[in-house]
Amino acid sequence: MSAVRWGRGAAGFGRALWPAGSPGLLAEEGALGGVWSRKRSSTASPCEQDRRKDWGHAELLEVLKARVRQLQAEGVAEVTVKRVAVARAPEAGGAQPPRQAQAGAKGAAATLSSRWAQKLDSDQQLMEKRKQRLEGKLQERVEKGAWQKQLRLEPRLLSRKLASQLQHWEQGAPRSPWEEQLAQLLQEAPHRLSSEAAAAPADRGPESRLEGQRQRLLSFFECCLLTGHLPLAHHVLVTHHSKSQQQRLLTLSMYNMVMLGWARQGSFKELTYVFFMLKDAGLAPDLQSYAAALQCMGRLDQDAGTIRRCLKQMAQDGLQLQGLFTAVPLSAEERAELLRAVRKAKPTFTPPRLPVPPPQVNTSPLLREIYAKDPAVSYPRLHLSLKELQGLFQQQLRVEMATTITVESVEKVPLLTKEVLHARKTLAGLRTRWRTALYRELQETKESEAHAAREGRLSLFPYLCLLSEKEIVRVLLQTLQALPAQGESLLFLAHELGLRVFKRKQLRNEVQELEQRYSKYLHLLASDTQIGILKPHPAFTQLLETAAERTLTFESTDVPMLCPPLPWTSPHSGAFLLSPTKMMRSVEGSQQHQLLLERCPPAELHGALDALTQLGNCAWRVNGRVLDLVLELFTDKGCPRLGVPAPPSEAPRPPEGRQAPKRCLLPEVSPAEKAEMRRELARRLKVAREMQSLRADALYRLSLAQHLRHRVFWLPHNMDFRGRTYPCSPHFNHLGSDLARALLEFAQGRPLGPHGLNWLKIHLVNLTGLKKRESLQARRDYADELMEDILDSADRPMTGRKWWMEADEPWQALACCMEVARAVRAPDPTAYVSHFPVHQDGSCNGLQHYAALGRDSVGAASVNLLPSDLPQDVYSEVAAQVEVFRRQDAEQGVQVAQVLEGFISRKVVKQTVMTVVYGVTRYGGRLQIEKRLREIHDFPQDFVWEASHYLVRQVFNSLQEMFSGTRSIQRWLTESARLISHTGSAVEWVTPLGIPIIQPYHRDSKVMIKGGLQSLTFSSSVDTSQKGLTFVSVHDCFWTHAADVAVMNQVCREQFVRLHSQPILHNLSRFLIERFCSDPRTSKSIWVSRLTDTLLSVPKTGTFNLEQVKHSTYFFS
C-alpha cells in the first residue's frame, strides 16, 4: 500500500484505510456509513443501528492497528517516497540537503508511528469499554426479548366452544377486529362449568383453606403491575387458568387486575384474552371489568358502535353506568379516559357527583358542647411562621424518605489505638465484601425466581423488582446492622425487611400528594398562617465492640419529628408524614382492636383523634444546660444515685478467692457453699445485665438529645389498647424517668405573668418530695426560705452545696432551680418568658375515679375530691392503717409484725396502693413491697419474704376498710370479667368518649378502669387547646406553662365532674348485657345466666356531691 493514498483528501480517507483484497466487506454491513456518512439512512431498528455502529468502530480499530504495523514494516518505502518529494524542494527554493532530509524523514516516520500507537492504544481502551457496555445492553435486551417470548399470552380455554371461537377469531383477525370480538364475547352468557368441574367445590374443603393462597396470588399480580411486569402476570394467570385445579384459586378481582393493566397500556388484544378466560371460568364481568374495557377503548379512540354495544351489554347484566364513576376506584387520568369513551357513545352524559356526606357530629355528652360551638373555634397557632414550618416539613420529609437516621453517639471517645483502627478497617472491608456478595446473590436469586415465574409458578421475582438491586442490598445491610448479639427470629426479620421495602416503594408515590395536603395544614398552624433465629457471629460482635464506632442508626419512626405531625383523621392515618402509624397499639399478632376501630362510626372517634393531634402538636426543645451536666457524668463513670447509668467497666466482676466459680469443682466444697457461690454469681450477672441495659437506654436518649440540641421537634402520639396515650418515639420523650423529663422544655415560651413565679416555686418544692401535707402557701414560703440553696444549685450544680441532689426528682429539681434563678434575676419577673413545664399531679388518680364512680364520701375525702385546708395523702393514711394492724399483731406475739416495727412507711406501700385499682394481684403487690424492703439497708433481709407476704395482706385489708365503695365496684367488675371469659369471649367495652376497647389477655379475668382517666385526658386536651393553652399529659400528670396552671386546673376539674355526671356503671351494664347476653343461642347457658344476674346487680352508690370537686384545691396539685 502506498502512502500516496493519504493525499487524496478527506473524502478518500475512508477508502484509504481498507486493506487490499476486501474493499467492500464492511461497507456492505453499513458500518462506515453509520460513522462517516451523515446522509446514510437505514431501515434497521435503533438497537440494530447501535449494534452495527459500535461493531463497525471495533473493526475500524483493528484496521488502524494493522496500519500501524504496516507503517513500521514499510518504513523504508515511506521514507523513499518522502525523500523524492523533499529532493525536489530545492528546485522550488528549498534549502534542505538530501542527507538531512533523509534523516528527518526517518525521525518523522518514527515519531508518526509512536504518536499513532499511543493514540490507538487510547482509542482501543475507550472502544473496549464501549464494546463491553454495548454487549451488556445487547445481552439484557436479548434476554428480555427471549424471556418475553417464553411468556404465554394466548389462553388455553377449558370450554371447547370458547376455544374454537377464539381460534376462529384469531385466524380471521383482519376481518374481525378485536374490538368486535370483545363486543360479541360480552354477549355470551357466562360459561357454566362442566358437571365434573361443578362438583369439584364440594371436594375442595372449607373455603378458608384457599384464602391464604388467593391472597398470595393476588399480591403477586399486584406486585407485577406495580413493577411493570404485566406480561408475567398475564402469563401466570394463563398458566393457572389452563389447569382446573389451579383455576379455583383465581377470583374475579385477579382477572380484573390484569385487565386493568392491559387497559392502561391500550392493549386491546391481550385484554380480550383475559375476557375469554373470565368467561371460561364461569364468571360474569362486573363494573371493574367494564371499566377496564371502556378505558382501553377511550385510549384507542374506538368507534361509537363498539362502545354502545358494550354499554348495552353492561345494562343487560344489571350494572348501572353511573356505578363506573362512583363504585370503581380510578385515578384522575383513568377516569378521564373512561369518560371519553362513554361520551363517544353518549355525548350528553355527565358523570354523577360523589355525594357529600352529611356533617358527622360526635354524640359523646362530654364533647357535645365543644363540637357544637358555632362559629368553630380557631385552630391553635404555633409560634413558628409558615416559611419556617415549610422548611421543617422538608427536613422531616428527607428523614422519612431515608427511612433511617444516623446520629453521633455521646459515648466517651475511645483512644484510637492500633487495635481500634485495625478493627474499624476490618469492619469496612467486611461490609464492602458483604455488599458485593449480597449483590451477586441477589442477582442469582432474581434469575432463579424469574425462571420459576416463567414456569407459571408464584415466585419472589416481582417483589425483588420493587426496588433497585442497590437499594435492596442497602436495606439488607441496614437490617443486619441492627441485628442484636442474641439474635432475632427469622420471621421477625422477614417482616421488618418487608416493611422497609414497602415503605421505600410507597414513599415514592405519596410525596407530591402529601406536600399539597400538608401545606394546607400548615396554614392552620403557622403564626402568620418465628421459624428460626439469625445471630451475628460472636467474632463479628467482638469486632464491633473493639471498633467502637461513633454512630447510632435509628428508624425514622423512632426519633421525634422535625415538623408538626400529621393530624389524626382516622384510626390508621396520622402522626408521621410517610410512615404508616396506627392510632391504637395492640399486642403482637392481635387485630381485634383495629377491627373494632374500623367498625366504629368515624364521628365517635373525633374526640380521641383530636386529642392525639393536640398532644402531638406541642413543640419541644432540649434543655442544653442540663444535657451538658448529664453528659459530663455519663462520659465519666456515671452516677447511679442520680439516674446516670455507669459504664460496663463498673459492673461487678465474677467473685474471686474463696467465692470464685472454679472452686465449685473442688471436692472439699460443701453443697451449701456451692449453692451460695452459684447464687452470688447469678446475682452479679443479673446486675451486670441490668447495668448494660440501662446504659444502652441512656446512650440512645442522650445521643438523640445531643442530635436535637439546637432544633425544635415534635412528639407524635398514639394510644394503647386501654386508651392510654404515649409518644410514638420510644427513646426520647417526656414519659421517661426524672432524667428524661429534665432534658425537655417547651419550645414556645410564655411570660410568667402575676402568678407564674409562685407556681414555679410550688412545683420545685413538689419535686423535692417534701411538704406533701402542707398547703400551697406553705410550700411557697418554704421555697423562699431555701432561695439561697436554689440559686447556689443553679449557679454551681456540681461544685456548690448540691442541695438539688437530695430531691426525689433531682434532675427536674435542678432544671427548675435554673428557671427560678433566671426568673428572680430578671428585671421584671412577670415579663420573663418561661419555657419550663409545670406539672399538676392527681392524688392517686385511679382511686379518685373509683371514689367518684361509687360516690364514696370517705374515699373521696382521702383522695382530695373534697375541699380541705390541707392536702390529704392516701398513701400515708394507708401506711398509718397498716401500722395499726401491725401493732395489734405485735401485741399478739406475731414475730413478723414485731420485726417490721419502725419500717412501715409511705414509700413501702405507695406502689401497691397506686396499682391495686388497676388490677394488681396480691402476688404482684408482694413483689413490689419486697423490692422496697430490700432497699432498706437496716431491715433484716432474712425476713423479707415473710414480711412482704404480711404487708401485702394488710395493705389490701386497709384499702377494704377505707374504700368500701371502691372495693365493691372493683369486685363487681372482676366478677363480670370472669363470667364473660367463661362464655368464651374477650372482655370489651366502650369508654365514655366512645372509644371501643377489647381486653387482649384472654387468660386474665381482671378489668382495669382506664376509661375514666383517659376520658379526662382527652376531653381536657381538647378543651385546653381551644383555650389556647399548651397541654401535655403523662397519664395522671398534666403539664403546661407556669402562667396557665390556674386555667388548666379549672379545665381538669370541670371535665372530671362532667365525666362522672354520666351514669357510667349503668351504661356499662347495659352495653355488656347487649353484647354478651342477648344472643338467643347462648341465653340458656349457665354462665350467661350468671353473667346477666351479675350485670343487673350494679353496685349502689353513696351520697358524695361531685360539684365539690370544682372547689377542691388539692384535687390536682
So which residues are the catalytic ones?
841, 910, 1036
Close Cβ partners of 800 (under 8 Å, ≥ 6 residues apart): 792, 793
Residue 999, φ and ψ in degrees, nearest 5: -85, 115
Residue 708, C-alpha cell as written in the block: 436535637
Residue 470, C-alpha cell as written in the block: 442497590
Bond into 754 cis (ω within 30)? no
Close Cβ partners of 571 (under 8 Å, ≥ 6 residues apart): 582, 583, 584, 594, 597, 598, 600, 605
How many C-beta atoms surround the C-beta of residue 300 within 10 A? 17
CB 1010 within 8 A of CB 724: yes
Residue 357, C-alpha cell as written in the block: 356526606
d(CA 725, CA 727) in angstroms, rounded, equals 7
**Residues shown for the chain:** 1117
3-state DSSP: the chain helix, strand, coil percent, rounded to 5?
A: 60, 5, 30
How many C-beta atoms surround the C-beta of residue 1041 within 10 A? 26
**Long-range Cβ pairs for the range 536-545 (8 Å, 24+):** 536/480, 536/483, 536/485, 536/487, 540/430, 541/485, 543/423, 543/426, 543/427, 543/430, 544/427
d(CA 851, CA 669) in angstroms, rounded, equals 59
CB 757 within 8 A of CB 747: no
Which alpha helices (H) appear in 825-862, and where do they start and end? 845-854, 857-862
d(CA 146, CA 28) in angstroms, rounded, equals 28
d(CA 902, CA 933) in angstroms, rounded, equals 12
CB 636 within 8 A of CB 798: no
Residue 927, φ and ψ in degrees, nearest 5: -65, -40
Helices (H) and strands (E) in the chain, counts: 46, 18
How many C-beta atoms surround the C-beta of residue 873 within 10 A? 20
Q: Which of these, 917, 913, 923, 1092, lies nearest to 1006 by C-alpha position?
A: 917
Residue 714 is classified by DSSP as E
Residue 988, φ and ψ in degrees, nearest 5: -145, 155
451 burial (CB, 10 Å; 0-12 / 13-18 / 19+) is middle
DSSP calls for 115-169: HHHHHHHHHHHHHHHHHHHHHHHHHHHHHHHHHHHHS--S---S-HHHHHHHHHH
d(CA 1075, CA 352) in angstroms, rounded, equals 40
CB 743 within 8 A of CB 812: no
d(CA 940, CA 901) in angstroms, rounded, equals 12
CB 406 within 8 A of CB 551: yes
Question: Looking up cell 379512540, which residue turns up?
Answer: 301
3-state secondary structure of 647: coil
d(CA 704, CA 690) in angstroms, rounded, equals 21
How many C-beta atoms surround the C-beta of residue 846 within 10 A? 24
